Structure 1
Amino acid sequence: MVKELRERTGLGMMECKKALVEADGDIEKAIDDMRKSGQAKAAKKAGRTAAEGGVVVATNDANTVAVMVEINSETDFVARDDNFLGFCDKVAAAALSAGETDVAKIGELKLEDGSTVEEARQALVQKIGENIQIRRAAKLEAEGAIGAYVHGGRIGVLIALKGGDAELGKDVAMHVAAVNPMVVSGDQVPADVLEKEKEIIRAQPDMEGKPAEIVEKMLGGRINKFLKEVSLLDQPFVKDPNTTVGALVKAAGAEVASFERLVVGEGIEKEEVDFAAEVEAAAKG
């Protein structure tokens, strides 16, 4: 019976089990009750693609721990709504307080009003009328300072520094937002990525017919160039191209330990909506 209720409403096992208990095992009454409470409405919206939204950051008072959360909506209009933005801030604060990045566990966290994050999400879906989803979260801890930067509410970056301060961290975070490095330093590039790049270089037209030793020499030079292009510390600093990020950080007596970068909707395949076809289908019943 729980399985049937889950299939018909799209809600989770615990919600369905609770609804059935409260309805004395009457599945139709359980569905009616869920519709009245708005749970079923929230579940129905959950099937729709949410690829817009925002990235929000919460940092502790000492500026040594930060959490960054991506929360999706269906439209950019809702992503700018005060109710949505307020929800995002509450989720990030709760995740920071609990030190949690697992999305399912974030949903179980309690907010100040006593409701859970998941309950607040469902209430927001009812109010706004769009699918709202907490997609992912990242957390960084720093021996020195945390640098945080959010660009336009859509690109978020956290930097963990050894030494330095929040201002330096923000500058480096701004650079990461703009340039999107793959790693902190070249030695962190995964072996499979490096091997794939070598294959691409070997297949380039100017490599054809050259002696093996020349090919290897050219390969080494181009790989070094590639490593500098994708490594944060070797990149020209976006605010002053005459210096590298590595030189900037070193001059401040600091080191970059790690970074996290989230972009709203990254990797989500958006639905192509044919409104004319939708209207035609609706007219045909």
Structure 2
Amino acid sequence: MTITAQMVKALREKTGVGMMDCKTALNETGGDMEAAVDWLRKKGLSKAAKKADRVAAEGLIGASSEGTKAALVEVNSETDFVGRNEVFQTLVKAIAAEATEAGGDIDALKARPFPGTGRTVGDEVTESVATIGENLNLRRTAMLEVPEGVVSTYIHNAVAPNLGKIGILVGMKSSGDVEKLDELGRKIAMHIAAVGPLALTPDEVPAEAAEREKAVYSDQARASGKPENIIEKMVEGRMRKFYEEVVLLKQSFVVNPDLTVEQAVKEAEGEVGAPIAVTGFVRFVLGEGIEKEESDFAAEVAAAAGR
């Protein structure tokens, strides 16, 4: 079958792949358009597979907000250079924009349609491996929603609007002035970025973390030789101090250290014009928890030079 320029153009418009690759795909599949699309997808998957064993711990955190809900995504790449790549930044922004509808479910986000391509978000990430030339991974997402008020967002070390290395969401429930509420929420988000609290309230601190601290304090108190009733009071006092250090609402507010975050929120109610409740927060740090390979850069350069 003769492969015409119109056929190549149609396949290119459908897939976004280069002209030569489209022509090859049509030749390989006898001009069958759908088979050619599959052939190109398989080619993309093949390229991605070669890079899939490389550790992707760089990249970007993306944020998006939509009324009373907002979302974060983490998309990883192999090198920090990709985070400054406009193609990659556009990809992360588009994924973040879809994340508010995925409800914090990574599989639901990957299954959502990617705008303007006819592919899913997950497939678009795979396709982008060939374009960008590095292993990419849509690692995680989170979403917060409030019945009224605002979910404030903050990106630390931003490389572009709503794209950076640390992303924060804070749920601010109130019927008051949304603009002033969001201003407070952004300050709290900056506090969270800097301090990294474990939980919103003492009840939400992971049980294993609290038990570990309690066991350490109990052993230290018993080493003093004091009676059990005194030890119990000593441990209670130290646990109160522990919660002040790790619980958001109990922490000293970085914007005004004379107040706790809880007190700062209460004080702001007059200006906002209604009661305020902080309903939750999310903190994404790029690459957090990913084991990075230690590399000898000098050895890599020597190897590349053929030594």
Sort the TM-score into its range (normalised by shorter chain): 0.7 to 0.9
Distance 1:280 1:149, change over 3 A: closer
Secondary structure of the structure 1 residue equivalent to 2:215: helix
Tell me whether 1:49 sits opposite 2:44 in the alignment. Answer: no
**Partner Cα distance (2:183, 2:292) in 1:** 36
Amino acid at match of 1:149: Y
Q: Does 1:183 align with 2:205?
A: no
CA RMSD of aligned residues (A): 2.7
The answer on 1:209 being equivalent to 2:225 is yes
In the alignment, which of 219, 233, 236 is matched to residue 249 of structure 2? 233
* SS of equivalent residue, structure 2 residue 129: helix
CA distance in 2, matches of 1:231, 1:244: 10
Q: Secondary structure at the match of 1:54?
A: strand
Unaligned runs of 5+ in 1: 1-21, 24-29
User: The residue matched to 1:38 in structure 2 has which SS?
Assistant: helix
Tell me how far apart the structure 1 counterparts of residues 303 and 65 of structure 2 sit (CA, whole Å).
50
- C-alpha displacement of 1:274: 3.4
Q: 3-state DSSP class of the match of 2:262?
A: helix
Residue 271 of structure 1 corresponds to 293
SS in 1 for 2:53: coil
SS in 2 for 1:213: helix
Cα distance in 2, alignment partners of residues 194 and 267 from structure 1: 21
Q: Distance in 1 between matches of 2:42 and 2:201?
A: 55
Aligned match of 2:105: 102
SS in 1 for 2:295: coil
Residue identity (%): 46
Residues 269 and 254 (structure 1 numbering): CA distance in 2 closer, same or farther, change over 3 Å? same
- The answer as to whether partners of 1:34 and 1:40 remain within 8 angstroms in 2 is no
CA distance in 1, matches of 2:79, 2:189: 27
**1:248 partner amino acid:** A
Query: Which amino acid in structure 2 is aligned with residue 222 of structure 1?
Result: R
Note if contact 2:102-2:108 (Cα within 8 Å) is conserved in structure 1.
Answer: no
1:111 alignment counterpart: 114
Q: Could you tell me which residue of structure 2 aligns to residue 162 of structure 1?
A: 173
Residue range with higher mean Cα deviation, 225-234 or 158-167: 158-167
Give the equivalent residue in structure 2 for 1:40.
Answer: 46
Secondary structure of 1:112's counterpart equals coil
Contact 1:207 1:215 in 2 (8 A): no
Q: Is the 8 A contact 1:237 1:244 kept in 2?
A: yes
The amino acid of 2:76's aligned partner reads N
How far the C-alpha of 1:277 sits from its partner, in A, is: 5.6
Aligned positions of 1:59-70 closer than 5 A:
59-60=65-66, 62=67, 64-70=68-74
CA-CA distance at 1:72 after TM superposition: 0.5
Alignment deviations for residues 192-220 of structure 1 (CA, whole Å, 9 cap, x no partner): 32221111112227843222222112111
- Per-residue Cα deviation, 1:227-261 (whole angstroms, up to 9, x for no partner): 11111111111111111110111122311111111
| TM-score of the superposed pair, with normalisation by structure 2 | 0.75
1:173 to 189, 192, 196: 189
Structure 2 spans left out of the alignment, 5+ residues: 1-27, 30-35, 158-163, 270-274
- Give every structure 1 segment of 4 or more consecutive aligned residues whose post-TM-superposition deviation is greater than 4 Å: 32-36, 275-284
Could you report, residue by residue, the CA deviation over 1:106-143 in whole angstroms, capped at 9, with x for unpaired residues? Answer: 22211221332123212321122111100000010013
Say whether residues 1:146 and 2:151 are aligned partners. yes
2:87 corresponds, among 83, 86, 93, to: 83
What is the TM-score normalised by the length of structure 1?
0.81
Q: Say whether the 8 Å CA contact 2:72–2:142 is kept in structure 1.
A: yes
Aligned length: 255
Amino acid at match of 2:86: D
Q: Kindly indicate whether the alpha-carbon contact (under 8 Å) linking 2:102 and 2:109 is maintained by their aligned counterparts in 1.
A: no
